[in-house]
Structure 1
Amino acid sequence: MEFTSHDGEQRYAAVVRAAAGVVVGLDFDGTLAPIVDDPAQAHIHPEARDVLVALAAQVAAVAVVTGRPARQALDLGGLEEVGNAIGDAGKELYLFGQYGNQRWSSTHRRIVGPRPPAGLATFERELPRVLRREGAEQAHVEDKGLAVAVHTRRMDDADGAFERLLPALRDLASRHDLTVEPGRNVIEVRSGDMHKGRVVHRLAEELEVGGFVFAGDDLGDLEAFDALDVLATQGLPTLKICSASEEQGALGERADVVVPGPAGVLELLRQLTADAAATRA
């Protein structure tokens, strides 16, 4: 792992000392699961289960916070099995899907969430016309229930199609009071009243946390980093982790530590687990 500053090293040390009261929040795609061309094949890293179970024994709770629908993340990540193992150790695994609109936990094993936002159905009906106009008919459209994601990754000119589509989809979304969340060759359209930062604040309040760690890789994780900055001003130990890639660099500028993708995230979590255990010994 690579700390971005001496302050980052100090923040890591503070988190280790406070580990028993710390919540570790993790994005899914690009953080726990490698980025792949087909979103339906984005399975969690094979070593993640054991790492998360060991980590949970040293911290207050582990939370996966993703833009994916909760059921999809549970299945691709095998997170119900992970939750069983964490629950057996007397700890809790949380899953927040659709940027926090859906919630599941290893104790309350039911996905709770709202109805799709107003305007989304009309947006979907109008979307094919916009794709044709922008020469992006081959873009993959993913219906997430509470959101719609337009993927350009599989197109010949993925970056060019993304740049053409982004302003067009912003315009269409604004006419239906929806929010656009750009990511790595994907543009997601959803309700704007929930984001990952709100999840961080909600968990911090509910669990009366003693600190917070969050690892992410894309623009949708910036609100979580913002929330950690607020918690830090309240005196809580925090650590912002960037799962780095060549496609997205925005988080690296804000992170305390930068690691090489999901494998690097898991290596850092192993180190955090070992250091926390040594501190408590």
Structure 2
Amino acid sequence: MTSHRASLLAPLVADPGGTVLLFDFDGTLSPIVERPDDARPVEGAVDVLTALAGRYRTVGAVSGRPVAFLASQLPGPVVLSGLYGLESQVDGVARARVGTEPWRPVVADAVARAQAADIEGVLVEPKGFSVTLHFRARPKAAAAVTRLAAELADATGLVARPAKMSIELHPPVESDKGLAVRELAEGARGVLYAGDDLGDLPAFAALTDLRAEGVATVSVAVETPELPPEVRAVADLVVPGPAGVVELLRTLLP
């Protein structure tokens, strides 16, 4: 371990009972795949997360994925925050953020409209409280997807958010990864967050605020061919892909 990495992680390792470890899923715990349903945690991730959850105050996934999907892939002790904090699961109990439930039928209408648009090569992924329009399989469809997302937002009141090779439509309910991190880190003395996408920037901003408040924080960017420069610029550490995340996590164990 480099001296820089060791010095950053030392306060967290020394105080596991006061430390929160949080991670994005896609591109961080799982490699990026063409079809979202095919994503799985990289080898070693489940074992190390289980071990960490038995030692640290909180180990959690903060993702744009639905909680139901995260729960099917990650070990039970891991706290889950899905759909950018619109829903969560702690100790097996799932909850939706206040004000979110009335938007479920609106999202279903947006899903139907997006599917009816039938843009070639575009995958419409329903997520219950949100919907994602993926154009990874056909990058040339980006402009068409952007127009469709804007039309759907105007028609339904949902909010369009750009993501990796996709656009997401969310209810206009205050929620992002930064808010989710602040909630999960309440009262913590140390916080680590690892991510690889523009949607992770609010989480990194939350860590900057927590550091100003005296909390020991570590921001980890996960290197992939699609890592946005904005994410790299705010990271304390950059690790090589999901396998690098697992290697980093192992250094947090005795």
The bucket for the TM-score relative to the shorter chain is: 0.7 to 0.9
Q: Deviations over 1:198-252 (max 9, x none)?
A: 11111122xx211111011111111111111111110000000111111122311
Q: Tell me the CA shift for residue 117 of structure 1.
A: 2.0
Letter aligned with residue 114 of structure 2: L
Letter aligned with residue 86 of structure 2: N
Confirm or deny that 1:123 pairs with 2:103: no
Which position in structure 1 is the counterpart of 2:150?
170
Which position in structure 1 is the counterpart of 2:189?
210
What SS does the corresponding residue of 2:49 show, helix, strand or coil? helix
Confirm or deny that 1:254 pairs with 2:241: no
Which position in structure 2 is the counterpart of 1:145?
128
Which position in structure 2 is the counterpart of 1:101?
86
Say what the alpha-carbon RMSD is for the aligned residues. Answer: 2.3
TM-score relative to the length of structure 1: 0.80
Q: Of 186, 196, 219, which residue of structure 2 is paired with 1:240? A: 219
Letter aligned with residue 186 of structure 1: S
**Higher relative contact order (CA closer than 8 Å, sequence separation 6+):** 1
Distance 2:148 2:36 in 1: 23
What SS does the corresponding residue of 1:153 show, helix, strand or coil? coil
Q: Deviations over 1:42-88 (max 9, x none)?
A: 0111311111122223321101111111111211x1x2xx22xx4xx
Gap change, CA 1:233 and 1:45, over 3 Å in 2: same
Gap change, CA 1:110 and 1:15, over 3 Å in 2: closer
TM-score relative to the length of structure 2: 0.88
Asked if the contact 2:107–2:128 (Cα under 8 Å) also holds between the matched residues in 1, the reply is no
Q: Of 5, 11, 22, which residue of structure 2 is paired with 1:25? A: 22
Gap change, CA 1:231 and 1:167, over 3 Å in 2: farther
Which position in structure 2 is the counterpart of 1:226?
205
Distance 1:128 1:48 in 2: 34
Letter aligned with residue 205 of structure 2: D
Distance 2:24 2:143 in 1: 24
Q: Tell me the CA shift for residue 12 of structure 1.
A: 2.9
Asked if the contact 2:108–2:128 (Cα under 8 Å) also holds between the matched residues in 1, the reply is no
Q: Of 238, 259, 264, which residue of structure 1 is paired with 2:244? A: 264
Gap change, CA 1:64 and 1:154, over 3 Å in 2: same
Q: Of 30, 38, 41, which residue of structure 2 is paired with 1:41? A: 38
Q: Tell me the CA shift for residue 268 of structure 1.
A: 0.5
Which position in structure 1 is the counterpart of 2:178?
197
Q: Tell me the CA shift for residue 163 of structure 1.
A: 4.2
Letter aligned with residue 154 of structure 1: A
